[in-house]
Chains A and B, each alone.
Chain A
């Protein structure tokens, strides 16, 4: 019952922000090529579509840059940074090889906790390591400075900033500065926050990530499956929020929804594009 006035409010906010009601979830500017693969938001008529993997597909379209703003990617522990790195890498890979160079800033804490980016691993993930410019900052303040400098450069595919823990310099003001510059420049900033707190941030989009164990192997072997993630979208201005478990297909970086209950047929779904119809059948787990 309470969701009706809430969705009305959201629609009004979207209208105030100059978005069309139907396009409220599609925050990416070039909707053309990516929209062909994804279907219109289900339930667009009610003003508030339900949440599933297709929301993420529209936030991070294939072959295009996501919205030029700050995207918070948070994980609970430093030991989960692998998942954080992997999802950020998947987002970059989804933009396509022609999206431009990527500036990847790492602060000393994160580098010490999880090591440095590894070229062969990135290549295996579908990212040409030569596209990356790596910056190692001695302090969070230095990392923020480097990110702001990078925001003065046009034509970047994305700027990734890894700042571990909850440093005081990374407050609301700092993220607002970043967000303003990112929006002016139109460059997406992926702010990776290992062991990051749930503090105030000016990010328009906030994802909390955790690794997701592999699903059952079709051949019954205890082998590693596709990289899997448990994702909670806790902030998505103008769009729905929610939680979803998904895997990333290695060859095209497609998001494959993972069923909450492992079914033998689940692996077959990977060969088809994620259709909302299919998503309904496999009953996505939606956390609060």
Chain B
């Protein structure tokens, strides 16, 4: 059996010759020697069905797949756009035929009735009143039953939907289960049958059908602006702004293209929406031709958020925020969300994780709240005394920075805001000395850059080093600041790093570290340059 080849599908000519799906290939060849066969490719069929579904998006946003060869379109409330049900059917048929598909189409009050009519019935448009009459003569298979259920019904003499519907329900349910009754009820429209649309349902849809297809991108942009203007009215009525918008362009040749934008804050100003879409449209225009013309433009809002009418703001702060959000949207649309970022404090004392640049449009402007790690927190506390009063919540488990070398102790309070409170309580006078220069670099390489360095003593700072083919002689150095891996997070524990701030003979300042504790973790320590100071 496993090796037996059978027919998966047949075309109209083959059907006329007496072939049908399920027939063995050898048998079929015996019946029709000139048979042309192609290997069955279910994936390609599924992809084709999906493409057809996309093309049908032009009729309704609610298109559901009915594999392997069917589609459901919920056209409730859409038919008037095509001059009624007949107009919609004619348009759909013409397009499918134009694309080379043989299709059977039916419109009925319920999905199950439409399915039955399309596959077994004759009428193509059923009104509510005509459903019962139309279903009656159809075979029971029209109810989308499992083949064994249909066979069992036939063996009982119940061959048509009508004869089945006339039976008392209780014995039917006892014999065939509740599913059979549910299918019957759905076909007759007694029970709602939800279809599962392949795309999320947009919250708002604005579309423009064009009797004459358009061929120019600037005309597309002009129509987009008009759609955005009508969208504004609807959004205003809801007191909302859009956060995610999808623009879909339906080409006359059946192709569908589109693009989408996500905004930092809710928007409804048509000018702003058009501005954010503009670079996206440019990108589309660069890779897409619209030779066949575009005959339907649709703008959909998938996410909205409350947006109150802008109120007069004395200091203009809210306005500034909105302006900045607009800039973020425009920049992100053209450069990509990853290229427009904001710095966010990370909960780690490993330098590369202590500050991250995250896409700006995913976050609103917040406050920089560094964890109370060593180094920079102290410097900041000199500027914002509040951080002295309130060290970051929780503190750090296993504070793992040490400063073994000789610094005046008064400075230590500036290294850690947690310790600063202690020092002040003991009467130390850290205010007398000027704050040190920053202990964290202004710029950091995401990956530390390997350098060749020579240290005077194994544990000491580098004396000279070579970075990117240029030799530097160290004139001054401070350190080490020991930063150990965060062993409490588990997983692979990297070697300990000893960081040095060094200044070369020309006054350039770098942040170098030696990886691995000498003689304990490694015998050949490696040096890296991690950042650049002012």
- Residue in B closest to A227 when the chains form the complex, CB atoms: B534
B339 at the binding interface (Cβ < 8 Å): yes
Q: When chains A and B are docked, how far (Å) is the Cα of A211 from the Cα of B505? A: 10
User: In the complex the two chains form, is A223's CB within 8 Å of B355's CB?
Assistant: no
Residues on B with C-beta less than 8 A from A83 are 507-508, 534
Interface 0/1 of B349-366, CB less than 8 Å to A = 001001111001000011
Interface 0/1 of A243-264, CB less than 8 Å to B = 0000011110000000000000
Contact of A129 among B368, B503, B507 (CB under 8 A): B368
A14 at the binding interface (Cβ < 8 Å): no
User: In the complex the two chains form, is B320's CB within 8 Å of A116's CB?
Assistant: no
Residues on B with C-beta less than 8 A from A82 are 441-443, 508-510, 532-534
User: In the complex the two chains form, is B368's CB within 8 Å of A223's CB?
Assistant: no
User: In the complex the two chains form, is B408's CB within 8 Å of A219's CB?
Assistant: yes
Contact of B434 among A117, A130, A133, A270 (CB under 8 A): A270
User: In the complex the two chains form, is B444's CB within 8 Å of A116's CB?
Assistant: yes
A279 at the binding interface (Cβ < 8 Å): no
Answer whether A118 and B443 are a contact pair too, CB < 8 Å, given A128-B368, A133-B328, A152-B327.
yes
Residues on B with C-beta less than 8 A from A140 are none
A222 at the binding interface (Cβ < 8 Å): yes
User: In the complex the two chains form, is A249's CB within 8 Å of B501's CB?
Assistant: no
User: In the complex the two chains form, is A153's CB within 8 Å of B327's CB?
Assistant: yes
The total of interchain contacts (Cβ-Cβ below 8 angstroms) comes to 227
Interface residues of A in 111-144 (CB under 8 A from B): 114-126, 128-130, 132-138, 142
A183 at the binding interface (Cβ < 8 Å): no
- Interface of A (DSSP majority class): mixed
Interface residues of A in 42-101 (CB under 8 A from B): 79-83, 85-87, 89-90, 100-101
Residues on B with C-beta less than 8 A from A240 are none
- Residue in A closest to B373 when the chains form the complex, CB atoms: A120
User: In the complex the two chains form, is A149's CB within 8 Å of B330's CB?
Assistant: yes
Residues on B with C-beta less than 8 A from A225 are 437
- Residue in B closest to A212 when the chains form the complex, CB atoms: B507
Residues on A with C-beta less than 8 A from B341 are 133-136
Stretch at the interface among B233-241, B302-310, B376-384, B514-522: B376-384
Residues on A with C-beta less than 8 A from B342 are 129-130, 132-134
User: In the complex the two chains form, is A117's CB within 8 Å of B475's CB?
Assistant: no
Q: When chains A and B are docked, how far (Å) is the Cα of A79 from the Cα of B316? A: 40
A231 at the binding interface (Cβ < 8 Å): no
User: In the complex the two chains form, is B331's CB within 8 Å of A146's CB?
Assistant: yes
Residues on B with C-beta less than 8 A from A210 are 506-507
Contact of B476 among A121, A223, A227 (CB under 8 A): A223
Contact of B440 among A120, A153, A228 (CB under 8 A): A120
Kindly state the interface size class of chain A when it binds its partner. Answer: 35 or more
The smallest C-beta distance from B445 to any residue of chain A, in angstroms, reads 4
A226 at the binding interface (Cβ < 8 Å): yes
Q: When chains A and B are docked, how far (Å) is the Cα of A221 from the Cα of B406? A: 10
Contact of B339 among A114, A136, A153, A155 (CB under 8 A): A136
Q: When chains A and B are docked, how far (Å) is the Cα of A122 from the Cα of B436? A: 14
- Interface of B (DSSP majority class): mixed
B344 at the binding interface (Cβ < 8 Å): yes
Residues on B with C-beta less than 8 A from A130 are 342-343, 365-368
A154 at the binding interface (Cβ < 8 Å): yes
Residues on A with C-beta less than 8 A from B326 are 153
Q: When chains A and B are docked, how far (Å) is the Cα of A134 from the Cα of B360? A: 8
Contact of A85 among B316, B319, B366, B532 (CB under 8 A): B532
The smallest C-beta distance from B431 to any residue of chain A, in angstroms, reads 10
User: In the complex the two chains form, is A211's CB within 8 Å of B507's CB?
Assistant: yes
Residues on B with C-beta less than 8 A from A211 are 506-509
Q: When chains A and B are docked, how far (Å) is the Cα of A251 from the Cα of B435? A: 7
A7 at the binding interface (Cβ < 8 Å): no
Residues on B with C-beta less than 8 A from A234 are none
User: In the complex the two chains form, is B339's CB within 8 Å of A85's CB?
Assistant: no
User: In the complex the two chains form, is A115's CB within 8 Å of B320's CB?
Assistant: no
Q: When chains A and B are docked, how far (Å) is the Cα of A115 from the Cα of B382? A: 27
Q: When chains A and B are docked, how far (Å) is the Cα of A250 from the Cα of B534? A: 11
User: In the complex the two chains form, is B380's CB within 8 Å of A123's CB?
Assistant: yes
B44 at the binding interface (Cβ < 8 Å): no
User: In the complex the two chains form, is B438's CB within 8 Å of A249's CB?
Assistant: no
Which of A101, A115, A130 is most buried by chain B, counting CB atoms within 10 A of its CB?
A115
B323 at the binding interface (Cβ < 8 Å): yes
B269 at the binding interface (Cβ < 8 Å): no
Q: When chains A and B are docked, how far (Å) is the Cα of A227 from the Cα of B379? A: 14
Answer whether A80 and B508 are a contact pair too, CB < 8 Å, given A130-B365, A224-B478.
yes
B477 at the binding interface (Cβ < 8 Å): yes
- Residue in A closest to B344 when the chains form the complex, CB atoms: A119
Residues on B with C-beta less than 8 A from A126 are 379-380, 383
The smallest C-beta distance from B349 to any residue of chain A, in angstroms, reads 10
B211 at the binding interface (Cβ < 8 Å): no
The smallest C-beta distance from A143 to any residue of chain B, in angstroms, reads 10
Residues on A with C-beta less than 8 A from B334 are 145
Answer whether A213 and B434 are a contact pair too, CB < 8 Å, given A86-B533, A122-B343, A133-B327.
no
A150 at the binding interface (Cβ < 8 Å): yes
The smallest C-beta distance from B324 to any residue of chain A, in angstroms, reads 6
Residues on B with C-beta less than 8 A from A136 are 335, 338-341
B395 at the binding interface (Cβ < 8 Å): no
The smallest C-beta distance from B210 to any residue of chain A, in angstroms, reads 32
The smallest C-beta distance from B112 to any residue of chain A, in angstroms, reads 54
Interface residues of B in 466-516 (CB under 8 A from A): 467-468, 470, 475-478, 501, 503, 505-510
B345 at the binding interface (Cβ < 8 Å): yes
A233 at the binding interface (Cβ < 8 Å): no
Q: When chains A and B are docked, how far (Å) is the Cα of A282 from the Cα of B116? A: 99
B61 at the binding interface (Cβ < 8 Å): no
- Residue in B closest to A122 when the chains form the complex, CB atoms: B442
12 contacts between A and B (CB under 8 A): A81-B532, A82-B443, A85-B442, A101-B324, A115-B444, A116-B357, A119-B343, A124-B439, A129-B355, A138-B339, A154-B323, A227-B533
Given A120-B354, A121-B438, list of 19 further CB < 8 A pairs? A82-B534, A85-B532, A86-B442, A86-B534, A89-B534, A116-B444, A117-B442, A118-B440, A120-B373, A120-B375, A121-B355, A122-B442, A134-B340, A137-B339, A154-B320, A154-B323, A211-B507, A214-B507, A227-B438
6 tightest A-B contacts by CB?
A: A86-B534, A119-B355, A124-B438, A211-B507, A82-B532, A118-B444
